[in-house]
Amino acid sequence: MKRSEKASRIMEMLETLYPETPVPLDHDSSFQLLVAVLMSAQTTDKKVNQVTPELFRRGPDAKNMAELSAQEIQAIIREVGLAPTKARNIVKLSQILCDLYNGAVPQTFEQLEDLPGVGHKTAGVVMAQSFGVPAFPVDTHIHRLASRWGLSNGTNVVKTERDLKAIFPKNLWNKLHLQIIFFGREYCPARNHDLTQCPICSWTATKKRIAEEQGSR
């Protein structure tokens, strides 16, 4: 089956399964989304959502967050992975937003990626979900599924992002990004996954890929 045919069928299935795609990280503003996505690296969204209510109560915007110390923030987010580094980045990021952008979140990839702790994936989520700019943020989970489904043979997330952007319609990138994440969580885990029983892997994965994953279990 051609990649384009796979992509069309996958889009239909994902739209049936997940017609609504709420952002899984709780937030009330683009600033709060930026901070939440920054914290989600190597941490579950569930864990981030557990610590952000108190964090955003203390620092609901860049101005208030910048007035907190890294130690205060670290104490609030201590259960999140890499908490010390993330706390320092949140303070620096908030100070820069106040100094350069009057507390607002910039609306370009370049400006976002210049902020401490903000990589391309984080910038893509903010651009897509806060500002509606077409993006296809690829994390390790989407990278894994794209490989399993034969949509990309990219050895890194940058190549996978290019492949997915080339095969899916631009107007659907933002929604598909979330749909694939939701599908991965419900049907397509990283470990102990039987590809032959998966609603998508069962017909997209090659026999070689199925054998490889079965052999690693």
Which residues are identified as catalytic?
A: 121, 139
Q: Which residue matches tokens 């391309």?
A: 120
- DSSP letters, 120-144, are HHHHHHHHHHHH--------HHHHH
Which amino acid appears at position 210 of this protein? Answer: I
Do 34 and 122 meet the contact criterion of CB atoms below 8 Å apart?
A: yes
- Distance, in Å, from the CA atom of 152 to the CA atom of 166, rounded to the nearest integer, reads 10
Element (H, E) at 114: none
Do 8 and 167 meet the contact criterion of CB atoms below 8 Å apart?
A: no
Say if residue 37 is exposed, middle or buried (CB neighbours under 10 Å; 0-12, 13-18, 19+): buried
Do 117 and 93 meet the contact criterion of CB atoms below 8 Å apart?
A: yes
134 φ/ψ angles, rounded to the nearest 5 degrees: -55, 125
